[in-house]
Each structure stands twice: as C-alpha cells, then as structure tokens.
Chain A
Amino acid sequence: MDDVLKEYSKQLPIKIIDEVKKSVPKNVSKSKLKEIMENILEEYKSMKVAFGESVGLISAESIGEPGTQMTLNTFHFAGVSEMNVTMGLPRIIEILDCSKSLSTPMMEIYLTSPLNKGKGIKEYAEKIKETTLGECIKEVSVNLGNSTIEVETDDNKMNILKITKNKIIKIVNTSLKGYTVKESGNLIILKPRGKEDTVNNLFKTKEKIKSIYVSGIKGITQVLPVKKGEEYVIVTAGTNLKEVLGMEGVDSSRSFSNDIREINSILGIEAARQSILNEVTKVIDVQGLNVDVRHIMLVADTMSISGLVKGITRYGVVSEKSSVLARASFETPLRHVINASISGEKDELNSVVENVMLNQVIPVGSGVPKLVVRKE
C-alpha cells in the first residue's frame, strides 16, 4: 500500500494521501488502490485554478455577495446564557480590518481531564476570572471624623473565592501607597500616613479601592462553563491567552482566543492565519451562508504573508501594493502620489487597477497570452 502511495506523493499533497490512508480499508488490492489514486489525481488536476484566473477578485465577490444578505449587527448567543458575541457584518469587518480593540473579546478554554468531565469546573472557572476588591466587600465608607476609610468585607464571597482577610490587607497594602491598613473587628480601616488627607482625596481612594485586583487572570471579566459535545469547556469574556495557556488543567493545544493580534504575538503567524480562517468561517456558518474555504484562505494568506498580521485597510495590505496608481485609487490618493514623487517611485503597470485606468489590456484571463505575427 505504501509503495503505491509513494508513487503519488510528488503529484498530490500530503494531506490528501493521509486522508486516503485513513479511509481506504487495509486489505485493499494494489490494482484497486491504483485505480482510486488515478481518479483522485484526475479530480485534483481538474480542481486546479487556471493560469490568469483573477482569484483575488473572485474571492472578493464570493465573500462580498453573501455579505449583502448578512443580517446587520446580529448578536449570537454562544452557549446557554449571558455571553453575547459580535457576529455578522461588524465581526467580519473587525477580522478583516484586524482591529486592535475588539468589541467582544472572547476565549474558549479547553480543559484536561478530570476538569473536562465537569468535575470542579465551577471553582476552576472562578479561579480564572479576574476578581477585584469591589466584589468581595459589602460596603466602603468614609469616616470624616477620623478621616479614615472603612471597608466592610463580605465573608460569603470571600469563602467562595478562598481569600482570607489577611490576604486582602496585604493586597491593599501593596497596591495603595500612603495608607496604613489595620483590621478592627469585621472592618478594615485605612488611615492616611502622615498628614490628614483632604476629603476629596479620601473619596477618590474610596473609588480606587473597589478596582484593586485581587485574584484570577487579568482581562477576563466573565466566565461561563459550557458543555460542548461530550466535554465541558469554559467560555470567557475578555482574553489573556498567555496566562491561560500557562495554567495547569488547561488543554493548551486547543484553547484559543478570538483576538487575532494576540494569537499572532503568542502563537505566531501560522496560528494567526488559521484563526482568521476559523473566525470568518464561524461568522459565515452562523448566518447559514456558504462560501468556499479557498476564498477565505486567500484572504487569510494575503493578510499574513508578510509575517505580520495586516488588515485590509490603507495602512495594512493596501499600503504594500507595489503600484502607486493602485494605492492612490484606494483612499487618500494625494498622499500616495506625493510620497511616491518624493522617492521617485516607478509604476510598472503590472496589475489590474492601473491598466483599467490607462485603458489598456489587463493582465488577466484573455489578456495574458500575447500573439505576435511576423510581417513577411
């Protein structure tokens, strides 16, 4: 079997050969396998794109046309409740523009056993979630007479989070400078060191106290354990891939974020390319539309080909175009023309847009082959 497959290894991609290995029964005869491979080869060749085909434009049309049918601004509720994720056209724009701040950053955390069976998942999720001091106290009040701040802790909440009062005092001590922190009864009292503080400052610190970081992973504001197929996963609002992937109990080979820039900085460009593909496909699938993966692959490839993730904007992919005229025809023409003139740029007129502008035959399709007749 391997001999036959080896014959084709130069003509077919490894992925196809691997797939054949998996799906063909072990006891297949040599002639039968050969027949299968011949058929696959023929099919593969017929699927190849012809030279001069304008794949980019066809991709643009193939993604753009179903895009017009997309329901604008839909929120898809992933999982049972609470968590809503931007979907539809706004999300597509977000991915393709490679925006820095996503409207709904999100992670899906896969777990190793026994956590993925749902054992202790709630406590584990709570551990991931970023907790601030404001969540484990009942009340903060300003005692104007003594010019102190009094914090009343919430013991119930603290039990769930497994935090002791001492720990809180420690945290407050390190993150708030200029205050002495003492425990008195069920209260924690903050006293300004040295001179008496102004009332205004007291109220400011009162608000500050609430946002002091206590435990969990920074950036993750919400957690939601969800059953996905056979196993349990944790869906989060907010992302912090670096920290999460380092945690014990997390299946770091499958967990992911929806922030493509973050994936690029932590897992590298190949992962980013794949996640562009996954995220676009997800949106399109949710809308019940059908777009061939190869179109999305082409987009993901152009966005990541330079080794960095670049959005399809005038600062990203478009600025990489070699033709001045092509760049100028897409937003801010003056800037491009003037910058080009400063460095004396040369436009070779190799692409489509420039040649349409000049009313010349575009180097695509029937414009590629040239026929010269020698005069006798």
Chain B
Amino acid sequence: MTEVYLNGKYVGDVENPQEFVDHIVTERRKNVLTDNLNVLYNEKNNIIEIESSKGRLRRPLIVVKDGKPLITEKHIAQLEKEELSWTDLVSQGLIEYLDALEEENALVAFTEDDLTPEHTHMEVSTLSFLGVCASLVPFSNHNQSARVNAGAKNQKQALGLYVANYLIRMDMDVNLLQSPQVPLVRSAMHTISEYGKHPSGQNLVVAIMSYKGYNMEDAIILNKGSIERGLGRSTYFRPSIAEELRYSGGLIDEVGVPDKEVKGYKSEKDYRLLEGDGIIYPEAAIAEGDVLIGKTSPPRFLSSMDEYNLASNLRRESSLTVKHGEKGVTDMVLITENEEGNKLVQVRIRDLRTPEVGDKFTSRHGQKGVVGLIVNHTDMPFSASGIVPDLIFSPHGIPTRMTIAHLLELVSGKVAALGGRYVDATTFDSEKESDIRNELLTLGFRENGTETMYNGLTGEQFEAKIYVGNMYYLKLKHMVANKLHSRARGPIQLLTRQPTEGRAKEGGLRLGEMEKDTFVAHGASLLLKERFDADKTVVPVCEECGLIAIKDEYKNRHYCPVCGDDVEITNIELAYAFKLILDEFKSLCVYPKLQLKSMY
C-alpha cells in the first residue's frame, strides 16, 4: 500500500504505485489531466506526491520513449514551416514541464547522443538549463560556475540602450551608453533575445599585461585616445519632481519665482535660471545649489493669533535645487497634474559622463574592475602593426579565477574583427578552439593570439609576447561621479549636534567603535579626542548642585535653575551627546550630579 498525497494532503492509498504514477503521466500527456500537474513516486518512503499548486518552478523537456525522442525530423520540418507551434508540442505530449519533484523520477539526457533506453527525457537545447543572462556569457562552459554567475549578474548592471523612447520618459536614475555595439563573439541567445536591438557594451582591443602597476588588484587601464573617440561615453538622466500640495484650510503650494520677503529666500543668483513661471528653461547649464523649480509653501502652524501677526504670515521657500555634488544640463521640462489634480512639474537633468578613474567596467566573465589610470594614446603600448589597445587588463586576474572563457573570447574576438565575421560562442555548442586558432594563423597572426609589442613610453620592445585581441566590455552603472564624497565641515543633526549621515546629506565619515579602538591601542589619546570633537560644547555647570546651569547672553549673567544666582558657575567642555544623556537620566528621575575638579 502506498500513500498518496495531493498538494501535501493525504487523499488515499493505492495498491500498485508504479502503475498509478505511469497512468497519471500518460493521462497528462493525453491532455485528460491538466498540464500543470506533477507527480513523484518516492520509493524510499513509499509515498506518491502529486503537486498542482501555484508558484512551482518548472522547465520544459522533450519526452523520450525507448531511447528515442518523441520529437522527430518531421516535427522540426513542420516547425520550420510554422505549421506547428510550441503549444501544439506541449498539448500533444511531446514536450512536458517538470518541476523539482518529478525531476527526481526522471533521467534527463543532455544531448541526443547521450540517449539510452533508460532515459525518460531530453533537454530541449543544451542552452535551456541556463537563464537569458547566463546564456549571454560566451564560451560559458569553459568557465568556473561562480564566474558565469557573476558574469550574468554584471550584464544586468551594464549601461546600454534600455528603451528606445527614453527621450519622452521620466525614468529615475538611468544611464544610456552613447555608442553601443553588437558583440563580435556571440551566443545563440544574442539572436533569440534580439540583443542587437538593445546592446549594452563595446568591442575593445584588450591587451593582457601590466602597466606601471596601475592595474593592480583588478584595476584596468584605459586609453585616453579611445575615450576621446567615444569609448564608454554615457549620459545620466535624473528627473526632479515638484508638486503643488494642498494643505488644510484651502492653502496651497505655489510654483513661481519666490518673493524676496519669503522665509528662507536664497539669493538672487540661485534663482537666475528661472523663467517667469518659476521653472528653469531647457538646456540650461546647472551646478550645485541652482534652483530648478521655484516654489513657496504656506506658513506652518497657522493659529488664530498668528493671523494678526504680520511676521509669521510669510510663506516659506520650498524650491527644488540641484542636489549636493550634482551638475549637468536641464534636458526636458514637463508640466502636468497628478491624480489629485494638483500641478506637477518635472525637470529632467542630463549629464554627460566620460569614463574617469574609478568608473567600473567588466567583461562578460565576472572579471570586473575599476579604472586605475587613463593613459595618453601616445604612451600606450603598441604592436608591430600599429595596433594600440583600448584597455589593459592585468594577468593576475586569470589564474585564481580560472575564467578560460575570458581568454577564449579574446582570441575569438580577434578572429572576428580580422575576419569580418561573428564568432559563435554558444554554451556547449560553440566553434572549436582549434578552428579559431587556425583561422587566426591564416589571417597572418600567431595562432595563440600573442603579438610582439613595444613600450609606448620608451619605444623598446617588450621581452614577452603580449596576448592581445578584441573583447566585448561593459560599462557598469556604478560610476564614481555618483559616489565620490568627502567633508571637512558641514551640516549637523539638530538633536545630537553630530554630523549628518550619508552622501546626499553631505554627511561625515563615521569613525566607528573599532576604529576608535585603534587610536586607543596606539595610545594616541589627544588625537582621539580631537577626532571626536565634532559635537564639542561648552556648558556652564553649577558647582552647588552639579546640574547644567543657564547662561543668559543678553543680561550677561549666569544662574542655576535650582540654586539661583548666588552660586559659583563654571564652564566645562564636553561632548554634546553626553549632555544629552544627562538630560535623559533626568527624565528617568536619576540625578546626574557633576562634581568638578581642576584638570591640573
């Protein structure tokens, strides 16, 4: 007796489990049962599990009977003539979807040659177990699996042509590569996914060598000449959005050039780019602090008393300005209204980004790196035929990572560029390495892809032969221009008087607990004090009760709120955060009495 479970619930027993399972499968293939149903006969535990619930991952496989796939040449011919479609194959039971459960009972052949009578299924294609991104990695069957994974992930972050209608879109935080190219070394997935319609990289001449140590630790060297010719040039778009919000009492925000009387009025210079409607004009060069959309808001906390008070009746300034560290050109202005019918203004900023030191680039093999140096065209190494690499990649990135496909792509790219054709590098189904090498030989180059090269600075010939070729490189969306940050003085938090956090708020760089420990370990105690001086304050303390006293700046006198005027009050220097914790102690009804004594 074998127990049967449907979607995890016990439904009954069967006498002959194998027969039962086979029956379910045949009925499913005959379309009597739903196609979304999988069954597992777990012989070890003697149970049958049937699943038809939502959210299972399933993949299509060709059904095999007696070592022969059910899909024959005839079907393929019909498919080519478009007499048959994929859904026909599924409904005829020639292809079926298996989930993780049923795969336990299946024996899947990878290729037709592997088929034996024991096999129950065959892969639709050798590529089909990979996702779209992973199958875009050329020669990926020659790579370590972790690198294919990284390569697939990196491609998602690459800049390219993400949509064709980008000019009329208001997408947040997007990049466009200015002259994207189709890869020379491609896989079948490039054709299937119509990669040519949305390419996201460029074919570069890559030399694998070292250059004055500037490509240590995965850094790469770029040719300045290549950058000037358009390598890795991209545009950054980012809209700023302002809304006319409605408040209680019929008050409303107002877009327009603010009056000089408005609370928080910046300076005339900051508003200079605004037109009469309070919105900036397109194609204006903007820098940090410039106002994009002028806006004023009604005064806060309007009480009945204040209505007679002229001073508090002023509107507040709430304009949209260019954020800290940003620059660019206003690209497009859009005026519309939101769901509530309020006026909505969007201004799109455009910024040209040429590659600079710190920008991130990668090949399609998880070999990512940051630009370490940009070298003048004249100082780059060159080959006997005068070829100058666009990019120099460090050889130390290869041995530990074992990305053989990276090396294969390099020669294949060279063959493709010289031979004027594309090289097919589909996973498990690529052109042969030996064929590519021979072709390179017939093109008049050394078959292993190396060339004699010369030092660009001295003109001397390098002793080693340099491995050069063409590779498809991607510019990733992580650019230093969006990340670079430093601060000496700047904004502080209201509560703690400590520096704000984060680049957007021009924050400080935190010296954390463990970093503090290193100062202590070195005995650099005065340096440590200075480093933590950011919230240093001078506080008057009553010598009598040990609480914080009051200093009246107008009357120029000190007094203690507890003991009165007639006590000695001394100024001490401490961290504002400590003054705060003393206040918190007081709120707990704990009396923190300070006893002062001279430091010397």
Binding site for B on A (CB under 8 A): 52-54, 57-58, 60-61, 334, 337-338, 340-341, 346, 352, 356-368, 370, 372
Question: In the assembled complex, how far is the CB of residue B469 from the closest CB belonging to chain A, in whole angstroms?
Answer: 39
> By the criterion CB–CB under 8 Å, are B521 and A58 in contact?
yes
Q: Bound state CA distance, A116 and B480, in angstroms? A: 69
> By the criterion CB–CB under 8 Å, are A358 and B517 in contact?
no
> By the criterion CB–CB under 8 Å, are A360 and B529 in contact?
yes
> By the criterion CB–CB under 8 Å, are B536 and A341 in contact?
no
> By the criterion CB–CB under 8 Å, are A352 and B574 in contact?
no
Cβ of A359: which chain B residues have Cβ within 8 Å of it? Answer: 529, 532-533, 535-536, 573-575, 578
Q: Bound state CA distance, A225 and B379, in angstroms? A: 72
> By the criterion CB–CB under 8 Å, are B523 and A54 in contact?
yes
Number of A-B contacts (CB under 8 A): 76
Render B521-562 as a binary contact track against A, CB cut-off 8 A, 1 for contact: 111111011001101100000000000000000000000000
Question: In the assembled complex, how far is the CB of residue A161 from the closest CB belonging to chain B, in whole angstroms?
Answer: 39
Cβ of A360: which chain B residues have Cβ within 8 Å of it? Answer: 529, 574
> By the criterion CB–CB under 8 Å, are A366 and B524 in contact?
yes
Q: Which 3 A-B pairs have the closest CB atoms?
A: A365-B523, A367-B525, A359-B575
Question: In the assembled complex, how far is the CB of residue A16 from the closest CB belonging to chain B, in whole angstroms?
Answer: 28
Binding site for A on B (CB under 8 A): 516-518, 520-526, 528-529, 532-533, 535-536, 573-575, 577-578, 581, 585, 588-591, 595, 599-600
> By the criterion CB–CB under 8 Å, are B575 and A358 in contact?
yes
> By the criterion CB–CB under 8 Å, are A337 and B590 in contact?
yes
> By the criterion CB–CB under 8 Å, are B521 and A54 in contact?
yes
> By the criterion CB–CB under 8 Å, are A366 and B517 in contact?
no
Cβ of A366: which chain B residues have Cβ within 8 Å of it? Answer: 523-526
> By the criterion CB–CB under 8 Å, are B525 and A362 in contact?
yes
Q: Bound state CA distance, A61 and B522, in angstroms? A: 12
> By the criterion CB–CB under 8 Å, are A341 and B590 in contact?
yes
Cβ of B575: which chain A residues have Cβ within 8 Å of it? Answer: 357-359
Q: Which residue of A lies closest to B533 (CB)?
A: A359
> By the criterion CB–CB under 8 Å, are A358 and B526 in contact?
no
Which of B525, B535, B577 touches A364 (beta carbons < 8 Å)? B525
> By the criterion CB–CB under 8 Å, are B520 and A57 in contact?
yes
Given the known interface contacts A341-B590, A341-B591, A359-B536, the answer about A364 and B574 at a Cβ–Cβ threshold of 8 Å is no
Cβ of B588: which chain A residues have Cβ within 8 Å of it? Answer: 334, 337-338, 341
Question: In the assembled complex, how far is the CB of residue A351 from the closest CB belonging to chain B, in whole angstroms?
Answer: 11
Q: Bound state CA distance, A360 and B577, in angstroms? A: 13
Q: Bound state CA distance, A352 and B524, in angstroms? A: 12
> By the criterion CB–CB under 8 Å, are A61 and B523 in contact?
no
Q: Bound state CA distance, A361 and B526, in angstroms? A: 6
Cβ of A372: which chain B residues have Cβ within 8 Å of it? Answer: 600
Which of B521, B524, B585 touches A337 (beta carbons < 8 Å)? B585
Q: Which residue of B lies closest to A334 (CB)?
A: B588
Question: In the assembled complex, how far is the CB of residue A57 from the closest CB belonging to chain B, in whole angstroms?
Answer: 5
17 contacts between A and B (CB under 8 A): A54-B520, A61-B517, A346-B595, A356-B516, A357-B577, A357-B581, A358-B574, A358-B575, A358-B578, A359-B529, A359-B535, A359-B573, A360-B529, A361-B526, A362-B520, A362-B525, A365-B520
Q: Bound state CA distance, A54 and B535, in angstroms? A: 26
Question: In the assembled complex, how far is the CB of residue A112 from the closest CB belonging to chain B, in whole angstroms?
Answer: 48
Given the known interface contacts A54-B520, A338-B588, A357-B575, the answer about A367 and B526 at a Cβ–Cβ threshold of 8 Å is yes
Question: In the assembled complex, how far is the CB of residue B585 from the closest CB belonging to chain A, in whole angstroms?
Answer: 6
Cβ of B528: which chain A residues have Cβ within 8 Å of it? Answer: 356, 362
Q: Bound state CA distance, A160 and B444, in angstroms? A: 85
Question: In the assembled complex, how far is the CB of residue B419 from the closest CB belonging to chain A, in whole angstroms?
Answer: 50
Question: In the assembled complex, how far is the CB of residue B275 from the closest CB belonging to chain A, in whole angstroms?
Answer: 50
Cβ of B523: which chain A residues have Cβ within 8 Å of it? Answer: 52-54, 364-367
Q: Bound state CA distance, A44 and B169, in angstroms? A: 76
Q: Bound state CA distance, A366 and B581, in angstroms? A: 28
Cβ of B574: which chain A residues have Cβ within 8 Å of it? Answer: 358-360
Q: Bound state CA distance, A52 and B573, in angstroms? A: 24
> By the criterion CB–CB under 8 Å, are A361 and B525 in contact?
yes
Q: Bound state CA distance, A61 and B573, in angstroms? A: 31
Question: In the assembled complex, how far is the CB of residue B479 from the closest CB belonging to chain A, in whole angstroms?
Answer: 32
Given the known interface contacts A358-B574, A367-B526, the answer about A57 and B532 at a Cβ–Cβ threshold of 8 Å is no
Question: In the assembled complex, how far is the CB of residue A336 from the closest CB belonging to chain B, in whole angstroms?
Answer: 11
Given the known interface contacts A57-B517, A337-B590, A341-B591, the answer about A365 and B522 at a Cβ–Cβ threshold of 8 Å is yes
Which of A61, A341, A363 touches B521 (beta carbons < 8 Å)? A61
Cβ of B524: which chain A residues have Cβ within 8 Å of it? Answer: 365-366
Cβ of A57: which chain B residues have Cβ within 8 Å of it? Answer: 517, 520-521
Interface-centre pick from B518, B523, B590 (highest chain A CB count, 10 A) = B523
Q: Bound state CA distance, A356 and B574, in angstroms? A: 10
Cβ of B581: which chain A residues have Cβ within 8 Å of it? Answer: 357
Cβ of B516: which chain A residues have Cβ within 8 Å of it? Answer: 356
Q: Bound state CA distance, A54 and B595, in angstroms? A: 27
Cβ of B518: which chain A residues have Cβ within 8 Å of it? Answer: 61
Cβ of B600: which chain A residues have Cβ within 8 Å of it? Answer: 370, 372
Cβ of B578: which chain A residues have Cβ within 8 Å of it? Answer: 357-359
Q: Bound state CA distance, A179 and B517, in angstroms? A: 68
Q: Bound state CA distance, A57 and B515, in angstroms? A: 12
Question: In the assembled complex, how far is the CB of residue A190 from the closest CB belonging to chain B, in whole angstroms?
Answer: 39
Question: In the assembled complex, how far is the CB of residue B508 from the closest CB belonging to chain A, in whole angstroms?
Answer: 15
Question: In the assembled complex, how far is the CB of residue B584 from the closest CB belonging to chain A, in whole angstroms?
Answer: 9
Cβ of A341: which chain B residues have Cβ within 8 Å of it? Answer: 585, 588-591
Q: Bound state CA distance, A372 and B536, in angstroms? A: 23
Interface-centre pick from A334, A341, A368 (highest chain B CB count, 10 A) = A341
Q: Which residue of B lies closest to A333 (CB)?
A: B581
Cβ of A334: which chain B residues have Cβ within 8 Å of it? Answer: 588
Q: Bound state CA distance, A140 and B589, in angstroms? A: 67
Question: Given A57-B517, A341-B589, 9 other A-B contacts at CB below 8 A?
Answer: A52-B523, A54-B523, A341-B591, A352-B520, A356-B532, A358-B578, A359-B535, A359-B574, A359-B578
Q: Bound state CA distance, A57 and B520, in angstroms? A: 7
Cβ of B522: which chain A residues have Cβ within 8 Å of it? Answer: 365
Cβ of B585: which chain A residues have Cβ within 8 Å of it? Answer: 337, 341
Interface-centre pick from B520, B529, B532, B533 (highest chain A CB count, 10 A) = B520
Q: Which residue of B lies closest to A362 (CB)?
A: B525
Interface-centre pick from B517, B525, B573 (highest chain A CB count, 10 A) = B525
Q: Bound state CA distance, A360 and B537, in angstroms? A: 12
Q: Bound state CA distance, A58 and B533, in angstroms? A: 24
Q: Which residue of B lies closest to A342 (CB)?
A: B590
Cβ of A337: which chain B residues have Cβ within 8 Å of it? Answer: 585, 588, 590
Cβ of A60: which chain B residues have Cβ within 8 Å of it? Answer: 517
